[in-house]
Amino acid sequence: MVMNIPINTTQDKFFKIVIRVLYPVLKLSNKETDLLANIMLIMYANRAVSREKLESNILSYKSRVALRSKLEISEASLNNNISALKKKGILVRTSYGFGLSEPIRMIMPKNNEFSVTFNISIK
């Protein structure tokens, strides 16, 4: 038996919804979810930029100011949530700066197709 549960959303809310669906696995707080969703949205919006430049800038001062403003949180709150994402292995150090761990990068749209499919089966 195949069950299909469509979840319609907008491009701006796509990452947040996927992260929320993955809550049993990721176990992120609301602020961590908001931060990760916004980081992913920034990375997607800048997908034409080289990986080196993107990873070196994603946690730069300018990016942090933009994230704080968008999320309406303090610098301390932002830093705490970034630290939490690092400890949980979601934000990882790369040779260029910081990037997303492999399982999280798999969520990023391919060919501008915003879709995630889960196959859960009993063998």
Strand partners, 91: 100
| 92 C-beta neighbours (distance < 10 Å), count | 15
Report the interhelical angle of 61-71 vs 75-87 (nearest 10°): 110
Three-state DSSP class for 23?
A: helix
pLDDT tens across 14-71, in order?
999 999 998 888 999 999 999 999 999 999 999 899 989 999 999 999 999 999 999 9
* Cα(54)–Cα(75) distance, integer angstroms: 21
Report the interhelical angle of 30-45 vs 75-87 (nearest 10°): 90
Q: What percent of the chain has pLDDT over 70?
A: 98
